[in-house]
Structures are given as C-alpha cells and as structure tokens.
C-alpha cells in the first residue's frame, strides 16, 4: 500500500466512522429510522462509492510517497492533507451541532428542529460543504483531472440534494426557515 492510499483510507475511516457512529447512536436513541428513501440520496451514495473507488484506483497508481517530490508536489500534498483535515472538522461540527435533527435524506413525516447555531451560523449545509471539501482534497492531493470532473458531477448531485432539503425545510418551518435562508449562505459564500 502506498502513502496516498494509506492517507485516503485513514481519512475515510475517520470521516465515515463519524457518519456511521452518528447514524447508529441517533437511530438507537430515537428508536426510529433516520434515513429517508428519496432517490437523490440513493443516487448520491452510489456516486460517492464510485468516486471513492476511482480515488483509490488513482491513489494506487500514484507515485505519492514513492518518487522524489517536486516543489509543486509538496504544495499539493500539504494542501490536500489540510483539505482532508478541514473536511473532517467541518463534518464533525455539522454532526455535533445538528444533534437529534440529523437525518440522511429527507423524511417527510418527521418533524425536526431547525438548527441555526454553531457551524450552521456560517452555512446552511455544512455536511455537504464537508463533502465538497473532501472532493477538493482528493483532487488536489492526487492532482487528478479525472477527479476534478467527478467532483463537478458530485457538486451537481449535492446541489440537487440541497434543493430537495430546502423545499422540505421551507414547508416544515415556514417563515423561520426563509429568514434563516436569507441570512445564511447555502454553502459558504453562496
């Protein structure tokens, strides 16, 4: 196993470990499903599995940690690792701050609290922002045009998920959500 594969595997272990732990303990505490059955979420999960598989394939064929690094390789290596760390921090803050309102996909019949504190003061969708940072991290770390293209597709899929969630939250929380939407950006600056 080369260094690139090891770092990406470690990142995924932490990132997905947080996700699965949150889902497991929240479902157990609430005693009901926290996963919606909407098509957009299923498509994104399938896409992410493909993205991750492609990332690991590229990492296996990467010379990261094998060839002597150039200055640009060192910069992208460090930037990639910093972005991986940022994605974990943003995902962790999102999972922590959303508390019992955490859901995977939209569940129409469940009423959840509208969270506007913590990381949600800066972005309405921090967990999706964490995924976007993750896409950027792997793309930069592996210096991959293919991952850049897949990341653009991933952004499009995330945007569809976000739009679906926004419609649901607007219907569920009304004016309170519309005020939140007007005050806090969807992602970071937009």
Domains of the chain: 3-183 (1.20.120.1630)
- Paired strand residues for 104: 35
Residue 80: count other Cβ atoms within 10 Å of its Cβ. Answer: 23
* Distance between CA atoms of residues 97 and 10, nearest Å: 24
pTM, 2 dp: 0.90
pLDDT tens for the chain, 190 residues long, are 688 899 999 999 999 999 999 989 988 988 888 787 778 888 999 999 999 999 999 999 876 555 545 666 888 989 999 999 999 999 999 999 998 888 887 777 778 889 999 999 999 999 999 999 999 999 999 999 999 999 999 999 999 999 999 998 999 999 999 999 999 999 987 6
């Amino acid at each position: 196993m080369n260094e690139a594969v090891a770092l990406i595997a470690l990142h995924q272990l932490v990132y997905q470990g947080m996700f699965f732990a949150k889902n497991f303990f929240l479902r157990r505490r609430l005693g009901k499903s926290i996963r919606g059955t909407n098509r957009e979420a299923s498509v994104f999960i399938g896409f992410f599995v493909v993205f991750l598989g492609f990332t690991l394939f590229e990492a296996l064929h990467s010379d990261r940690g094998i060839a002597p690094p150039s200055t640009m390789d060192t910069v992208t290596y460090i930037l990639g690792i910093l972005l991986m760390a940022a994605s974990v921090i943003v995902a962790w803050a999102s999972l922590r701050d959303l508390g019992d309102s955490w859901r995977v996909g939209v569940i129409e019949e469940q009423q959840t609290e509208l969270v506007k504190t913590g990381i949600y003061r800066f972005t309405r969708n921090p967990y999706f922002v964490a995924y976007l940072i993750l896409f950027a991290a792997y793309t930069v770390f592996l210096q991959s045009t293919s991952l850049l293209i897949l990341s653009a597709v991933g952004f499009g899929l995330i945007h569809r998920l976000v739009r679906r969630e926004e419609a649901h939250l607007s219907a569920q929380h009304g004016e309170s959500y519309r005020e939140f939407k007007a005050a806090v950006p969807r992602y970071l600056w937009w």
